[in-house]
Structure 1
Amino acid sequence: MSFEDDGSQKPSIQALKTKPLERSFALARLGAGAGAKIVAHSIANIFRGEIDRDQANREFYRRQAQVLADELGKLKGSVMKAGQMLSLYGQYFLPEEAVTVLSSLQDDTPPVDWRIVAPVLQRALGRHRLRELEIDEQPMAAASLGQVHRAYRRKDGLALCIKIQYPGVADAIESDIRTLSRLLIMTRLTPKGLDLTPVFNEVREMLHREVDYESERHFTETFAERLKDDPRFVVPRVLGEYCSDQVLTTTFEHGHSVRQETVQTLPQARRNRLGHAFLELFLTEFFRWGMVQSDPHFGNYRIRVDEQGEDDRIVLLDFGATRIFGRGFVESYGDIVRGALSRDRDLILRGAKAIGLMQESFPRSVLDAFAQMCELIVEPFNAANDPRTPESLRNAKGEYRWGDSDLPMRVGRVAALNALSIHFRVPPREIVFLHRRLAGVFIMLATLRCELSARDTLLCALEESARSSAE
């Protein structure tokens, strides 16, 4: 959950359905309504032509997904977070219309009334500790599993962020996952015959991690320690005396959203430095540490603009989605990247097969198409004189113009034209989260309208990774 305050005041939820039975009943009622709509839609399709039927199906998927998203938003907790995760996994098996609607769960979340979360804070910290704080009852950010309140420590005025977990969300995870999996089948949003057990197993594991505030505290402190000597980054300090298994308190770290005018109007050189720092951080996390903060939501990153000069800094927030990647996975993924940079398709496929992205049984055309897609994805890291990079995406110095690039759409076309989705249904879970962050890196650099060549940065990260593996 990000600590971004967008200034909006959404109506707060006055009551939470926290008991498994009442949550299951709410979802079951939704499923029953969906069943009746499916019957009506199927009958109407009999009388439609092929084109009208396709349009009707698209609209049907959109409506079904919208109803599902609306209900999940009201329930909060793990079932809503699971819906968010489905929008991430769903790009591989859900209708495009459903993915678009479910993605809205990422950002449009009403807060919960203070009287619901206040008892959680009181039980966690006790009255003595609470008297040390002055807390704003209006949350500055709200998400599916908890919300953040601004606070001040009375003795010295230290500004704080207090993240409070919604009551009952941890206990409802197992029931929510079972109910949601049945609901997806009832709404007919998933293809027939597709086994979603691995997807829901991963969602379940992810949910248990995200309600583990002690783990999030550990990762926050770990990132702070590893980046303490890097002046480009700011990580909030954890105040352990105001933490528990349901409460996480850190210092409040000010900054601007990357989309705000203050950041967007910075000189090109300063935006380039910010973009380079953001990219280098991701490469360091993955190739050196094997520890990646995998949620690329813009609210998790703030820009602290240096009013006196050029020492702008990136404030890093929310480490609840941090994932650990095994050395073997990192090495094999590195083979894919090295192969893509050098146009060595055997190396690309060796790495892809090692981590389960490709299989020996796939047709040669599919393997070649996958290798072609990988070679296209590394376009921003091509040499400055590489003729495969469109001239319009290079400035006079040969630097890549991230803000003008249509690379994601071109990659999508390659995948669609070669029917990769037929063989590439639901990828290994590590890939889903890694590519989630990787996409976030591209979007960040595009939003900053960076113009920079990152080839040497990537090659350096790959070399360091190889040295680490050899030691």
Structure 2
Amino acid sequence: MTQAPLTGGRAVPSSRLNRLWHLGRATTDLAAGIGMRGLIDLARGNEGASDRVQLSPEAFQRITNRLSHMRGAMMKMGQLMSMDGSDVLTPEAAAILGALCNRAEPMPLSQLAPLLESEYGKDWNRRFRRFAFTPVAAASIGQVHRAETADGRHLALKIQFPGVRESIDSDMDNLGFLSRAIGMSAKGMDLKPMLEEARRQLHQEADYEAEANALETYRGLIGDGTHYFVPEVHRDFSTGRILAMDFADGIAIDQLAEASFTRDDRDRAANLVMEIVLRELFEFRLVQTDPNFGNFLYQADSGRVVLLDFGATHPVPPAIVSGYRDLIRAAMVEDREAMYQSAIALGFAREDTERPQVDGMLELMRLSSEMMRHQGPYDFGASDLFKRIYDQGQQLYYEGAYSQLPDPSSVFLYRKFLGAFLLCRRLRARVDLPRLLEPYL
């Protein structure tokens, strides 16, 4: 989530018909961008139609404007594509879709006021000393307001956009056309399992009761230490569409990349993020799977990392935990046969997968684990590792090596690792991964 104050935006389309109209406009923009021949190929599913379509920056800008206005499932999937699709989309498309992570529009007061009245009652304002109508953050599902209760508690109120929960299924049902058109998937890949997992996660993220339970569970696991802070839920101000929690000060963690912050701050923040990612998998077996940088704040005065947004929190089956432990062990000693067996166990490969594809995948895994074999802190700022991974991954994509998807829950866990590594690169941090991994291997 973005942390800068936001001004009022356009009303969130809340009815199914209204959202379908906006999707139709986005499809019209798409059709204009790819031309009649491209549209016919997509509609017929002609050979090659799943290849990425070259759209002008202007056409992509119109489409992302529509998606950011709709919020909900459309915007969430745009965010997923912007993080994972850099080797699938054109550079222009990846850059514009990446802007979706910071492009959520807040709902206007004309929508916010009736929503507060429906959730808190007619005289809802009497429960607060202060209520900031300008949100401090906005994302795909809702926006966050700062408030002080009548008894003096300082709260962050996560308020869900109207109609978003009810529109998830209809939005997801209409995503197939757009996802194929802008190159979300590799040739031959069946996206249905992944889209179904995304649908399930979006329903969970829109369930604020489930998020409150996950937040309380996670807070109990973290405890009251000096390294992390997890907000406490305030049940008396929480409803089905409002989640009330402690307000936490801090800066968005990726802002530490700016020159005004020290290298020690960057290193500390990155190491703490990597440490909590490993603890989630191997110790808690409960992972917050959304890798958005906005889910982490950094408190420069205390050196603590604030952990936010637990709507996408999932328990990890023991078999997945063991599979990743075995894979990391094998990658650290470059044991290709053990890596292969672990990849099969995790669903990244099958025993009947063609050997050239297997070899390419194993080489990519070996390359991706370079920082785990490095003795001492790995300097992400001085490394060209991500360019090498990108080049290798792009080659595998064009060879059709991504036609098989592993278990969706394993893929979303992989995305959490990827997000943590991308943050380390953004911060140009030094991270001692072997030291962090040692307790679990």
Q: TM-score, normalised by structure 1?
A: 0.82
Hey, what does 1:151 align to over in structure 2? 147
Which whole-Å deviations, capped at 9, do the CAs of 1:351-380 have from their partners, x for residues lacking one?
Answer: 101121012222323222222222221222
Hey, what does 1:456 align to over in structure 2? 435
C-alpha deviation, 1:328, in angstroms: 0.6
Contact 1:373–1:414 at 8 Å: present in 2 too? yes
Contact 2:34–2:53 at 8 Å: present in 1 too? no
| Identity among equivalent pairs (%) | 30
C-alpha deviation, 1:262, in angstroms: 10
Contact 2:88–2:397 at 8 Å: present in 1 too? no
Hey, what does 1:35 align to over in structure 2? 31
Equivalent residues in 2 for 1:96-245, closer than 5 Å: 97-127=92-122, 130-133=125-128, 134-156=130-152, 158-184=153-179, 194-245=189-240
Query: Match of 2:55, SS?
Result: helix
The question of 1:424 aligning with 2:436 is answered no
The question of 1:437 aligning with 2:428 is answered no
The number of residue pairs the alignment matches comes to: 427
Contact 1:256–1:304 at 8 Å: present in 2 too? yes
Query: Match of 1:303, SS?
Result: strand
Which whole-Å deviations, capped at 9, do the CAs of 1:105-162 have from their partners, x for residues lacking one?
Answer: 1111221112202222222223466412121111111122211111011222x22111
Contact 2:146–2:156 at 8 Å: present in 1 too? yes
Structure 1 pair 268–168 and aligned structure 2 pair: CA distance change class (3 A): closer
C-alpha deviation, 1:244, in angstroms: 1.1
Which whole-Å deviations, capped at 9, do the CAs of 1:314-371 have from their partners, x for residues lacking one?
Answer: 1111111223221111111221111100111111111101121012222323222222
Structure 1 pair 262–39 and aligned structure 2 pair: CA distance change class (3 A): closer
C-alpha deviation, 1:226, in angstroms: 1.1
C-alpha deviation, 1:238, in angstroms: 0.9
The 2-side partners of 1:189 and 1:450 are apart by 30
Unaligned regions of 5+ residues in structure 1, if any? 44-56, 385-397, 463-471
Contact 1:77–1:144 at 8 Å: present in 2 too? yes
The question of 1:253 aligning with 2:252 is answered no
Contact 2:253–2:297 at 8 Å: present in 1 too? yes
The 2-side partners of 1:419 and 1:67 are apart by 27
The 2-side partners of 1:109 and 1:162 are apart by 17
Query: Match of 2:428, SS?
Result: coil
The 1-side partners of 2:213 and 2:9 are apart by 31
Which of residues 319, 328, 334 is equivalent to 2:325? 334
The 2-side partners of 1:314 and 1:400 are apart by 21
The 2-side partners of 1:40 and 1:129 are apart by 53
The question of 1:366 aligning with 2:344 is answered no
C-alpha deviation, 1:281, in angstroms: 0.7
Amino acid of the structure 2 residue aligned with 1:21: L
The 1-side partners of 2:419 and 2:36 are apart by 40
Structure 1 pair 337–364 and aligned structure 2 pair: CA distance change class (3 A): same
Amino acid of the structure 1 residue aligned with 2:436: T
The 1-side partners of 2:319 and 2:34 are apart by 46
Which deviates more, 163-172 or 23-32? Answer: 23-32
The 2-side partners of 1:367 and 1:188 are apart by 23
Contact 1:210–1:216 at 8 Å: present in 2 too? yes
RMSD: 2.9
Amino acid of the structure 2 residue aligned with 1:105: L
Query: Match of 1:171, SS?
Result: helix
The 1-side partners of 2:212 and 2:57 are apart by 38
Which of residues 286, 295, 303 is equivalent to 1:291? 286
Query: Match of 1:423, SS?
Result: coil
Which whole-Å deviations, capped at 9, do the CAs of 1:239-285 have from their partners, x for residues lacking one?
Answer: 10000111001111111233446986555445433332221111000
Query: Match of 2:164, SS?
Result: coil
Contact 2:251–2:299 at 8 Å: present in 1 too? yes
The 2-side partners of 1:417 and 1:363 are apart by 16
Contact 1:340–1:374 at 8 Å: present in 2 too? yes
Structure 1 pair 347–185 and aligned structure 2 pair: CA distance change class (3 A): closer
Hey, what does 2:47 align to over in structure 1? none
Contact 1:129–1:242 at 8 Å: present in 2 too? no
Hey, what does 1:279 align to over in structure 2? 274
Which deviates more, 367-376 or 87-96? Answer: 87-96
Structure 1 pair 291–255 and aligned structure 2 pair: CA distance change class (3 A): same
C-alpha deviation, 1:406, in angstroms: 1.8
Which whole-Å deviations, capped at 9, do the CAs of 1:380-411 have from their partners, x for residues lacking one?
Answer: 22242xxxxxxxxxxxxx53212222211111
The 2-side partners of 1:437 and 1:187 are apart by 24
Amino acid of the structure 2 residue aligned with 1:26: H
The 2-side partners of 1:194 and 1:292 are apart by 26
The question of 1:313 aligning with 2:304 is answered yes
C-alpha deviation, 1:102, in angstroms: 2.3
The 2-side partners of 1:61 and 1:347 are apart by 45
Q: TM-score, normalised by structure 2?
A: 0.87
Contact 2:372–2:434 at 8 Å: present in 1 too? yes
Contact 1:125–1:243 at 8 Å: present in 2 too? no
The 1-side partners of 2:229 and 2:243 are apart by 18
